[in-house]
Amino acid sequence: MTNTHHTRCIMVQGTMSGAGKSLLCTALCRIFAQDGFRVAPFKSQNMALNSYVTRDGLEMGRAQVVQAQAAGIKPDVRMNPILLKPCSDTGSQVIVRGEVRGRMPAAQYFRYKKQLIPEILDAYQSLAEEYDILVIEGAGSPAEINLKAEDIVNMGLAQMVHAPVLLAGDIDRGGVFAQLYGTVALLEPQEQARIGGFIINKFRGDPEILRPGLSMLEERTRIPVLGVVPYLNVDIDEEDSLASCLSTESVHKPIDIAVVRFPRISNFTDFTPLESHPALGVRYVSEVAALGHPDLIVLPGTKNTVEDLLWMRQNGLEAAVLKAASAQTPILGVCGGYQMLGRTLRDPAGTEGNISGRTLHGLGLLPVDTTYTAAKTRTRVQAMVTSEPWSGACVDGYEIHMGDTQVQGQPFCRLQNGVGEGCCQGLVWGTYLHGLFDTGELTVKLADWLCQRKGITLQQAAPVNHHTYLQRQFDQLADGVRRALDMQAIYRLMEESR
């Protein structure tokens, strides 16, 4: 395959997961867009539990959604043709072009994935026909020597689409020279030749101290270092289990919001807008001792509601949440967390894989009952919250879940067509809607109510639309990365490969 004649591309690979590939791709999308190009992101295969529903009701990974937003375009499933959503330690739900293909154990998918190459290339080629530049993100490391023969996301993809590669290493974790040199050493000669430059990422301190090491690295690999990117303090959605926000255990703000960190937590970016409010401190807890006495407890989404409910039951967090609810602590459940707050969870067909034919009791804090079915709900939603004390807040979000929930109580909100969604009872609220806080309206109402409840006087704040906030963060990210990288060299790499 060759690139469409007018399209240029650049690929960012990393020495490991968490090296900063997604953020660097986001920055490049923004920089190229600022420079006047039509630019789109691409990642052939993504493994993440933070997914997103497009306007046409299809599912894709959140990293490419953020990159599309940075590029100033609408997310499109072609940007992430394969999404793997782990549902156990050894298997994943396989989503291709936004639709579920089924569940597969890792070994089965490893044998199957080569069949997906035509669909990957078709998605890539159709984007290449519409955009000037494609920014491609790799996954994990290209030097996973046990997986290289069947690679469709790192060097295998780079060779298929003739992409020059930037290899990023994370200096914040230490050992960056060994990361970069070792990665190159484990590649085949033709793969080594594809690397056009190194990027040292997440650096704190004086870059001059690095100069001797950079020179030695360049001499030994014959690959130039194209930039040392500082550790940038930007607030941009992260998508996977390595996200730094999930390690937040304490925040010094007036209001304490505790989000239960399920082992299979998904779509935790729902709560990112809360973190930008000056009064709201968001922390993640996975054990009873860390829960304390928060002002609000949140049960977030999860890829396996039943397993995570049993986990919460076994480690004592369920009992702690029930005790907090009886002491009038407000509880909010989103998606899987909403299902847990109900009375029963039924799985007659074994959709969740582990309670087939029987019923599991929920926390019993909401009068709702959930039955799992094979069908997956994926839809964009606009709604207005009708439950007190947040009534009147407009929500622009999406539903993405397995299971049908029967509600016998008051709805949390009403959809555009007037149909009730979710449920509320006393100080407990549940909803399937992701993106609850993105418009900023519910964030302000929540903060005002929690502060009033705690006797704190806050200066009235106007709602901050999360999209508008993100655009400022993208510009800040792009400015920092542009200053650090040799952009002329990157443009040359793209031109030469074309």
pLDDT in tens, 288-314: 999 999 999 999 999 889 889 999 999
Check residue 385 and give its pLDDT.
Answer: 95
CA angle 45, 69, 436 (to 5 degrees): 95
Token pair listed for 141: 């490391």
- Residue 449 buriedness (CB in 10 A; 0-12 / 13-18 / 19+): middle
Q: Are 67 and 74 in contact (CB under 8 A)?
A: no
Taking the complete model, does pTM exceed 0.85, yes or no?
Answer: no
Q: Which residues contact 419 (CB under 8 A, 6 or more apart)?
A: none
Check residue 42 and give its pLDDT.
Answer: 98
Q: Are 217 and 181 in contact (CB under 8 A)?
A: yes
Q: Which residues contact 211 (CB under 8 A, 6 or more apart)?
A: none
Judge whether 9 counts as a catalytic residue: no
Catalytic residue among 25, 335, 413, 423: 335
Q: Which residues contact 407 (CB under 8 A, 6 or more apart)?
A: 367, 368, 420, 422, 423
Tens digits of residue pLDDT in 321-374: 999 999 999 999 999 999 999 999 998 877 765 555 678 899 999 999 999 887
Token pair listed for 193: 């030749």
Judge whether 434 counts as a catalytic residue: yes
Q: Are 403 and 372 in contact (CB under 8 A)?
A: yes
Catalytic residue among 25, 29, 87, 434: 434
Check residue 188 and give its pLDDT.
Answer: 94
Check residue 2 and give its pLDDT.
Answer: 47
Tens digits of residue pLDDT in 432-460: 999 999 999 999 999 999 999 999 887 76
Per DSSP, helices labelled H in 397-486 are 441-454, 466-484
Check residue 406 and give its pLDDT.
Answer: 93
Residue 362 is which amino acid?
Answer: G
DSSP assignment of 165-188 equals EEEEEEGGGS-HHHHHHHHHHTS-
Task: Give the distance between the most distant pair of CA atoms in the chain.
Answer: 70
Residues 121 and 182: their CA atoms lie apart, in Å, by 30
Using 70 as the pLDDT threshold, list the residues of the chain that sit under it: 1-5, 88-90, 237-251, 352-357, 460-463
Phi, psi of 321 (to 5 degrees): -65, -40
Ordered by where they begin, the domains of the chain are: 8-236+472-497 (3.40.50.300), 255-457 (3.40.50.880)
In angstroms, what CA-CA distances link 236 with 168, 264, 285? 19, 21, 21
Tell me how far apart the terminal alpha carbons of the chain are, to the nearest angstrom: 12
Check residue 373 and give its pLDDT.
Answer: 84
Check residue 49 and give its pLDDT.
Answer: 80
